[in-house]
Chains A and B, each alone.
Chain A
């Protein structure tokens, strides 16, 4: 049987569940020597645990100011980032929409080749059609003999 408990043993009871420490506590309650040792240990631990939280008011004020300043910086930074983001988003939107508007407003030029192709395609089925329009009207059978007349008329004016 153990006569007395050491401070190390007693220290351990601080971390035990009440039922686990019951043997030691029962002994401590009945033993003056261990009781006083336990009390001294408690005093030592309280001394160790003493946190310097009772600092002067200036310490807490300074700490608060540091935090507030850092928080303000963080807020300005996030606002600047958000503003930059908004500007970038607006620029991107303007670019996309502008591109769409330009794209829509510029009339797509009709390639003349297509018209000619259509004409020739239209002419293709029947070469003797009266509505046949040649590529150069002055080269048509009806007008080719009048070319010099037209040139003379133009020159006389």
Chain B
């Protein structure tokens, strides 16, 4: 939950003011949640420009549908859901584009993973980079849904219950997706043994 000063107006008040036509109130909501939404979007799409676009789109969509927000969940949760849906759309789009434009260079990255060893700190950074590369490569095998779940768990440290709530799925379904994702990732990471 985002830290809010005791003197700051609560979300509900800002929402009501926005609906009454106070544009400044929505600006405060943006300021309050933009970092968090950007982080969620980045965790899923792993691209700064894309995450920035998704963050902007999330707030614009939230604004245009603000009257439909019934307050059954926190405003932050509602925003996060919008951001996740947009990020998932972005992943699907990217997957579609990659399907038609995959290059030899990308396919040749298979040999990128190297075995882990106990090297000192400076080289550990390289290993971290390699692990990142390995995970990113492995993630390509995942469906958009699996990728979203994996990344929310992996990069955002969200609990299964939280992910289930954000995606509108049952916790068991999230768990199944996550385990399937891990199984695929694990295969890729075997080179680290």
Chain A residues near B (Cβ < 8 Å): 6-8, 11-12, 14-15, 37, 40, 43-45, 47-49, 51-53, 60, 63-64, 66-68, 70-72, 74-75, 78
Contact = CB atoms under 8 A, between A and B. Distances in A.
A73 B101 CA distance: 35
B30 A51 contact: no
A49 B154 contact: yes
Contacts of B156: 49
Nearest to A4: B193
Contact of A63 (B56, B116, B127): B56
B52 interface: yes
Given A7-B192, A60-B34, A64-B34, A70 B27 contact: no
Nearest to B18: A71
A71 B43 CA distance: 25
B10 interface: no
23 contacts: A6-B192, A7-B116, A7-B189, A7-B193, A11-B185, A15-B178, A15-B179, A15-B182, A48-B131, A48-B132, A49-B154, A49-B157, A51-B38, A51-B39, A63-B34, A63-B56, A64-B31, A64-B34, A67-B34, A68-B23, A68-B27, A74-B60, A74-B63
Nearest to A54: B35
Contacts of B30: 64, 67-68
A62 to B, nearest CB: 9
B153 interface: yes
B80 interface: no
Interface size class, chain B:
35 or more
Contact of B56 (A11, A44, A66, A72): A66
Nearest to A79: B21
A53 B186 contact: no
Nearest to A40: B124
Task: Tell me which of A15, A45, A72 has the highest count of chain B C-beta atoms within 10 A of its own C-beta.
Answer: A15
B64 interface: yes
Interface string B19-45: 001010011001100110011001100
A25 B132 CA distance: 24
B180 to A, nearest CB: 11
B52 A70 contact: no
Interface in B52-67: 52, 55-56, 59-60, 63-64
Given A8-B190, A64-B27, A71 B39 contact: no
Contacts of A44: 124, 127-128, 131
Contacts of B189: 7-8, 11
A43 B186 CA distance: 18
B135 interface: yes
A53 B40 CA distance: 10
Contact of B128 (A43, A53, A63): A43
A40 B59 CA distance: 38
B69 interface: no
B179 A70 contact: no
B165 interface: no
Given A7-B192, A66-B56, A71-B60, A12 B34 contact: no
A71 B132 contact: no
Contact of A8 (B39, B63, B192): B192
Contacts of A14: 153-154
